Amino acid sequence: MKLTRREWLGGSMLATGWALGVLPAGAQGAQDYPNRDIRAICNFPAGTGGDIFVRFYADRLAAVTGKNVIVENRAGAFGNIASEAAAKSKPDGYTILITPASSTFATAVHTFKKLGFDPIKDFVPVTTLSKLSFIILVDPKLPIKTIADLTAYEKSRPGKAFFGVDANTGLVTAELYNKLAGTGSKKVQYKDIQTMANDLYAGSIDYMSRDVPWATEQVRSGKFRALAVTGGQRASALPDVPTMEEAGIKGYGAVEPWWAVFVPAGTPQPIVDKLEGYFNRIVASNEAKKFLSNLGSDSYPGNAKMLKELLASEIKRWGELVKLAGIEPQ
Q: What is the CATH number of the domain that holds 151?
A: 3.40.190.10
Q: What is the pLDDT of residues 200-249, one digit of tens each?
A: 999 999 999 998 888 998 999 999 999 999 998 898 889 999 999 999 99
Residue 6 belongs to a domain: no
User: Quick one: 145 and 216 in the same domain?
Assistant: yes
pLDDT of residue 24: 52
Nearest Cα residue to 328 out of 217, 181, 148, 172: 172
Contact between 229 and 135 under an 8 Å Cβ cutoff? The reply is yes
User: Quick one: 56 and 144 in the same domain?
Assistant: no
Question: In this predicted model, which residue has the larger pLDDT, 296 or 185?
Answer: 185
Is pLDDT above 90 for 149? yes
Residue 330 belongs to a domain: no
Can you tell me the mean pLDDT for 91-100? 97
Is pLDDT above 60 for 21? no
Domain hosting 147: range is 134-229
Find the helix or strand (DSSP H, E) in which 208 lies.
Answer: strand 207-211
Note the pTM of the prediction, 2 decimals.
Answer: 0.78
Report the C-alpha gap between 223 and 245 in whole angstroms: 25
Report the C-alpha gap between 43 and 97 in whole angstroms: 8
User: Quick one: 169 and 222 in the same domain?
Assistant: yes
User: Quick one: 61 and 40 in the same domain?
Assistant: yes
Tell me which of 181, 209, 229 is where a domain ends.
Answer: 229
Please give the span between the terminal C-alpha atoms of the chain, in angstroms, as a whole number.
Answer: 53
Is pLDDT above 80 for 163? yes
Q: What is the pLDDT of residues 53-85, one digit of tens each?
A: 999 999 999 999 999 999 999 998 989 999 999
Confidence bin at 136 (pLDDT 50/70/90): very high
User: Quick one: 207 and 278 in the same domain?
Assistant: no
Taking the CA of residue 154 as centre, how many other CA atoms within 13 Å lie in the half-sphere pointing to its CB? Answer: 25
Residue 18 belongs to a domain: no
Task: Report helix, strand or coil for 239.
Answer: coil
User: Quick one: 119 and 172 in the same domain?
Assistant: no
CATH number, domain with residue 284: 3.40.190.150
User: Quick one: 57 and 105 in the same domain?
Assistant: yes
Q: Each residue of 157-172: b (16+ CB within 10 Å) or e? A: eeeebbbbbbbbbbbb
User: Quick one: 112 and 151 in the same domain?
Assistant: no
Dihedral, 299, 305, 306, 308 alpha carbons, nearest 10: 100
User: Quick one: 84 and 163 in the same domain?
Assistant: no
* Lowest mean pLDDT across 34-43, 75-84, 182-191, 286-295: 286-295
User: Quick one: 65 and 212 in the same domain?
Assistant: no
Contact between 100 and 314 under an 8 Å Cβ cutoff? The reply is no
pLDDT of residue 124: 98
Confidence bin at 281 (pLDDT 50/70/90): very high
Distances, alpha carbon 272 to alpha carbons 182, 216, 278, in Å: 46, 34, 10
Is pLDDT above 80 for 105? yes
Can you tell me the mean pLDDT for 79-92? 97
User: Quick one: 127 and 171 in the same domain?
Assistant: no
Residue 288 belongs to a domain: yes
Can you tell me the mean pLDDT for 274-296? 93
Report CA 93 to chain centroid distance, whole Å. Answer: 20
pLDDT of residue 176: 94
DSSP state of 90: -
Question: In this predicted model, which residue has the larger pLDDT, 12 or 319?
Answer: 319
Mean pLDDT of the chain: 90
Alpha helix (H) ranges present in 238-303?
Answer: 269-284, 286-294
Can you tell me the mean pLDDT for 191-203? 92
Q: Which residues contact 238 (CB under 8 A, 6 or more apart)?
A: 135, 212, 215, 216, 219, 226, 229, 296
pLDDT of residue 325: 85
Residue 5 belongs to a domain: no
Report the C-alpha gap between 32 and 29 in whole angstroms: 6
pLDDT of residue 94: 98
pLDDT of residue 295: 78
Confidence bin at 7 (pLDDT 50/70/90): very low
pLDDT of residue 297: 84
Residue 238 belongs to a domain: no
Tell me which of 180, 209, 229 is where a domain ends.
Answer: 229
Can you tell me the mean pLDDT for 39-66? 93
Residue 9 belongs to a domain: no
pLDDT cut 70: percent of the chain above it: 91
Residue 13 belongs to a domain: no
Distances, alpha carbon 46 to alpha carbons 1, 39, 107, 197, 263, in Å: 57, 15, 23, 15, 21
User: Quick one: 117 and 171 in the same domain?
Assistant: no
pLDDT of residue 219: 95
- Looking at the structure of the chain, the number of domains it has is 2
Tell me which of 229, 246, 269 is where a domain ends.
Answer: 229
